[in-house]
């Protein structure tokens, strides 16, 4: 694990224009002083000692110890995090829905078997984890090779435009090669274990980082605890006065423990037992959409959409004021990682696996040695769901690292209808992960059932290729 704080320096254009350049905490203190007087930026900046910027923070505004949380919101902190597990990266985004940033994509990058976080850092039994990872990465490698061959035998499955397939230009050949590679990554990634290593970059306020550090250090996971410590140390380079707010708390520890205990109750819950696995251990995805209907008549619904020219255009207030709760039961962790990145509302995902998706629905109709290999891989993974469930029942809190991106869960998101519709428009576009797009199209069908007059007014499937 490697966590690095990155300072932002002024551009040459800003220097030439004579713009002010502040440290993160100095920026917060200058902004905070606005709440106590109206003297303006130039007057406040005149109090800055260029030879002692740290002292200037306190001289400009005495409350920079963050007695007011809003002051910490004005302290931007960029942090790069290398060598954490896929699970830790997911967990970071659950705590940081409003953060800017990126994560290494399993849809575009091959992950190697040696790229895993150590069992000791994860708090796992090494022998058991090594055994699971060996099976997972073996399946991943075989699946990559098989899906690549399938894409050559049946190019129509890839949805690569025919003119590219027929082209003799070197540029187009490279495009086809990349699209084939991504096609295989998209389907083989279901076997990647959540202990696999990834990287994350996040840009957010010092206030957000302080809360995240406190939360992580209050967690039972050794990996998350260490991550909280490492982030706090790097955050302190940009906002040292906030370090005291990064420690673990009993309240957070008790909350996290209670959430884990709820997983055990799911074992006896009718909801979990209602899912029937097929012969390969996969459950059929169930789609849910519940809305508070403020759209009093069809005319109001149409008026709320008619001025939009693309998915970034605003909806009318009737749709913006409508609460929407949408959910999928039996959606994979791979898709959940993406769904979790959407910024609004409240998301809920109990990490109790209910099945495993092996991408068998993507196989061509005619069997061959490669389709048989894919089916065999899925069958070899069938019992991993029950193994993880048993670990939960036995209170083994490392169970999540014995699952992969293809394991299926329940995921729920409560927001407003305009945000829901934007997400569905975005994730049904060209280049969206194929299963993700399928789930979003099903959610839109539920919306159209409730609001048929909006069909044709939404920008479903128009997002540009990724």
Q: Is 133 part of any domain?
A: no
What is residue 61's predicted lDDT score, i.e. its pLDDT?
56
Residue 190 has pLDDT above 80, yes or no: yes
CA 395 to chain CA centroid, Å, is 26
What is residue 66's predicted lDDT score, i.e. its pLDDT?
46
What is residue 39's predicted lDDT score, i.e. its pLDDT?
82
- pLDDT higher at 164 or 35: 164
Residue 25 has pLDDT above 90, yes or no: no
- Check whether residue 448 and residue 395 sit in a common domain: yes
CA 321 to chain CA centroid, Å, is 26
Question: Distance between CA 99 and CA 89 in Å, rounded?
Answer: 13
Question: Distance between CA 114 and CA 120 in Å, rounded?
Answer: 15
Which residues, 6 or more positions from 84, have their beta carbon under 8 angstroms from its beta carbon? Answer: 1, 92, 117, 197, 198, 199, 200, 223, 227
What is residue 64's predicted lDDT score, i.e. its pLDDT?
45
| Structure tokens that stand for 245 in this block | 């707010």
- Check whether residue 283 and residue 243 sit in a common domain: no
Q: Is 334 part of any domain?
A: yes
- Check whether residue 271 and residue 238 sit in a common domain: no
Segment 256-262 shows an average pLDDT of: 93
pLDDT digits (tens, 9 = 90+) for 32-80: 777 777 788 888 888 888 888 777 776 655 554 545 567 777 888 899 9
| Structure tokens that stand for 227 in this block | 């991550």
Segment 215-241 shows an average pLDDT of: 94
Q: Please, are residues 333 and 406 in contact by the beta-carbon 8 Å criterion?
A: yes
Of 348, 350, 356, which Cα lies nearest the Cα of 269?
Answer: 350
Residue 219 has pLDDT above 70, yes or no: yes
What is residue 299's predicted lDDT score, i.e. its pLDDT?
87
Question: Distance between CA 425 and CA 441 in Å, rounded?
Answer: 9
Backbone angles phi and psi of 332, in degrees to 5: -80, 160
Residue 248 has pLDDT above 50, yes or no: yes
- Check whether residue 338 and residue 421 sit in a common domain: yes
- Check whether residue 236 and residue 290 sit in a common domain: no
Number of structural domains in the chain: 2
**Domain stops at, among 248, 277, 310:** 248
What is residue 69's predicted lDDT score, i.e. its pLDDT?
63
Q: Is 364 part of any domain?
A: yes
Q: Please, are residues 348 and 378 in contact by the beta-carbon 8 Å criterion?
A: no
What is residue 59's predicted lDDT score, i.e. its pLDDT?
64
CATH code: domain of residue 201: 3.30.1360.170
pLDDT digits (tens, 9 = 90+) for 345-384: 999 999 999 999 999 999 998 889 999 999 999 999 999 9
Q: Which domain holds residue 244?
A: 1-114+197-248
Q: Helices (DSSP H) in 414-453: which residue ranges?
A: 417-426, 434-450
- The fraction of the chain above a pLDDT of 90, given in percent, is 61
What is residue 164's predicted lDDT score, i.e. its pLDDT?
87
Q: Please, are residues 406 and 360 in contact by the beta-carbon 8 Å criterion?
A: no
Report the residue count for the chain. 466
pLDDT digits (tens, 9 = 90+) for 443-455: 999 999 999 999 9
Segment 432-451 shows an average pLDDT of: 90
Q: Please, are residues 151 and 183 in contact by the beta-carbon 8 Å criterion?
A: yes
Q: Is 272 part of any domain?
A: yes
269 pLDDT band, cuts 50/70/90, is low
Segment 431-447 shows an average pLDDT of: 89
Q: For the chain, give the mean pLDDT.
A: 89
What is residue 68's predicted lDDT score, i.e. its pLDDT?
56
Q: Is 361 part of any domain?
A: yes
158 pLDDT band, cuts 50/70/90, is confident
Q: Is 315 part of any domain?
A: yes
Segment 328-338 shows an average pLDDT of: 93
- Check whether residue 284 and residue 346 sit in a common domain: yes
Question: Distance between CA 389 and CA 265 in Å, rounded?
Answer: 11
What is residue 60's predicted lDDT score, i.e. its pLDDT?
58
What is residue 466's predicted lDDT score, i.e. its pLDDT?
55
Segment 219-238 shows an average pLDDT of: 95
What is residue 207's predicted lDDT score, i.e. its pLDDT?
87
pLDDT digits (tens, 9 = 90+) for 298-327: 888 899 998 899 989 999 999 999 999 999
- Check whether residue 244 and residue 372 sit in a common domain: no
Q: Calculate ∠ Cα 406-273-325, nearest 5°.
A: 70
- Check whether residue 94 and residue 236 sit in a common domain: yes
27-31, 215-219, 456-460: which is most confident: 215-219
Q: Calculate ∠ Cα 424-427-432, nearest 5°.
A: 160
Q: Please, are residues 8 and 203 in contact by the beta-carbon 8 Å criterion?
A: no
- Check whether residue 234 and residue 274 sit in a common domain: no
- Check whether residue 27 and residue 109 sit in a common domain: yes
Q: Is 70 part of any domain?
A: yes
- Check whether residue 211 and residue 241 sit in a common domain: yes
- Check whether residue 357 and residue 407 sit in a common domain: yes
Q: Is 82 part of any domain?
A: yes
């Amino acid at each position: 694990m490697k966590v690095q704080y990155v300072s932002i320096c002024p551009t040459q254009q800003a220097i030439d224009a004579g713009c002010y350049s502040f440290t993160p905490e100095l920026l917060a203190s200058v902004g905070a002083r606005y709440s106590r007087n109206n003297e303006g930026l130039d007057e406040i900046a005149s109090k800055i000692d260029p030879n002692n910027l740290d002292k200037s923070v306190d001289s400009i505004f005495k409350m920079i110890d963050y007695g007011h949380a809003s002051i910490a919101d004005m302290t931007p902190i960029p942090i790069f995090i290398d060598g954490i597990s896929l699970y830790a990266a997911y967990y970071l985004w659950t705590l940081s829905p409003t953060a800017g940033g990126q994560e290494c994509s399993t849809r575009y990058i091959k992950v190697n078997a040696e790229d895993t976080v150590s069992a000791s850092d994860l708090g796992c039994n090494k022998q058991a984890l090594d055994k699971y990872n060996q099976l997972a990465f073996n399946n991943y490698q075989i699946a990559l090779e098989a899906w690549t061959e399938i894409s050559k035998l049946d190019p129509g499955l890839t949805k690569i435009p025919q003119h590219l397939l027929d082209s003799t230009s070197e540029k187009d050949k490279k495009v086809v090669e990349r699209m084939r590679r991504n096609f295989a990554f998209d389907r083989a990634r279901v076997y990647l274990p959540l202990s696999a290593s990834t990287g994350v970059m996040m840009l957010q306020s010092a206030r957000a980082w302080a809360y995240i550090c406190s939360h992580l250090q209050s967690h039972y996971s050794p990996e998350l605890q260490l991550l909280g410590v490492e982030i706090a140390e790097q955050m302190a380079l940009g906002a040292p006065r906030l370090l005291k707010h990064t420690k673990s708390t009993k309240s957070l520890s008790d909350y996290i423990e209670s959430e884990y205990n709820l997983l055990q109750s799911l074992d006896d819950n009718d909801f979990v037992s209602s899912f029937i696995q097929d012969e390969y251990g996969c459950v059929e995805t169930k789609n849910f959409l519940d809305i508070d209907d403020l759209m009093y008549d069809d005319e109001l619904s149409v008026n709320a959409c008619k001025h939009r020219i693309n998915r970034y255009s605003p909806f009318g207030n009737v749709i913006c004021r409508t609460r929407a709760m949408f959910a999928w039961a039996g959606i994979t962790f791979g898709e959940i990682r993406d769904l979790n990145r959407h910024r609004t509302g409240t998301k809920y995902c109990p990490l109790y696996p209910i099945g495993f998706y092996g991408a068998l629905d993507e196989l061509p109709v005619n069997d061959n040695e490669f389709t048989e290999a894919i089916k065999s891989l899925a069958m070899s993974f069938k019992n991993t769901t029950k193994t993880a469930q048993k670990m939960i029942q036995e209170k083994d809190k490392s169970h999540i690292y014995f699952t992969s991106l293809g394991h299926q869960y329940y995921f729920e998101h409560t927001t407003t209808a305009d945000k829901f519709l934007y997400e569905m428009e975005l994730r049904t576009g060209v280049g969206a992960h194929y299963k993700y797009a399928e789930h979003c199209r099903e959610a839109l069908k539920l919306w159209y059932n409730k609001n048929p007059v909006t069909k044709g007014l939404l920008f479903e499937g128009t997002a540009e290729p990724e």
